[in-house]
Every structure is written in structure tokens, then in C-alpha cells.
Amino acid sequence: MADMDTALKEIMQIDGAIGAALADYTSGMALGTIGGTKELDLSVAAAGNTDVVRAKLRAMEMLGIKETIEDILITLDTQYHMIRPLTGRAGKGLFLYVALLKSRANLAMARHHLRTIEEKLDV
């Protein structure tokens, strides 16, 4: 099992990663961050993406969708932003967030690595 800091460091090993966070979508707080740029404040990004997760969960509830979100992908001109809600009991209400450079990232591999990191994460 990996702790939060180890998991965040592993996320930064994904090709194209420029920043990552573990956040609580019930409070909007980042529990841990790594990387980032002057344009990408990870605490602000994590807090803002809590609204994305909450909105999707509300929409699923209104539609009667009982499935679990694997990940949410936001595609920008030069970046991918991936949100992966944690599915384990201990991770309830938490999500992993990673920003990737489109020019360097392989989206399928990034999703695979993020899934593997989540499976090993112990919060």
C-alpha cells in the first residue's frame, strides 16, 4: 500500500504530468499536491474540480444512474485534466487529480497508471 505522498510522486512519473493532487470533494480542500506551474495552482484546481465532481454526481443521481465514475476527463487546447474519484471505503469523498501536457501524454496509459496508483493508495 502506498501513502498519499508516494502516490502523488508516482502520478508525476506519468508521461506529460505537470501537477497532481489528492482532494476531498466534500470540503473542497486539497489534502496533498505536487508539481504545478505559475498558471496551474493545484490547490485552486483541486477546489474548483470539487464542483465538477459534485455536479456529475448530482446529474447521475437525477438520471437514476447507479454506476461508479471511473474518471472524468477535461480536454483543453494543450492539456488533459483527469479526475479519478477513489472507490475504496477509506477513500470515500476523495479524488485524484492530474494535469497532463497533451503533447507528451498518452491518455490510455495515463488512465491505466492512475487506476493502478489508486488501487495501491492507502488513505
Sketch the domain layout of the chain as residue ranges. Answer: 4-120
Q: In this predicted structure, what is the pLDDT of residue 122? A: 81
Reported as half-sphere exposure (CB side, CA atoms, 13 A), residue 121 has a value of 29
Q: How many CB atoms are located within 10 Å of the residue 2 CB?
A: 16
Hey, how many other C-beta atoms are within 10 angstroms of the C-beta on 7? 22
Average predicted confidence (pLDDT) for the chain:
93
pTM of the model: 0.93
Q: Note the pLDDT tens digit of each residue in 45-89.
A: 999 999 999 999 999 999 999 999 999 999 999 999 999 999 876
At residue 85's C-alpha, the angle toward residues 84 and 88, to 5°, is 125
Instruction: Please report where in the chains the cell 505559475 appears, as a residue.
Output: 38
Region of 75 (left: φ > 0; alpha: ψ -120 to 50; beta: rest) is: beta
What's the pLDDT score for residue 92?
82
Longest CA span, the chain? 40
Provide the CATH topology of domain 4-120. Answer: Beta-Lactamase (3.30.450)
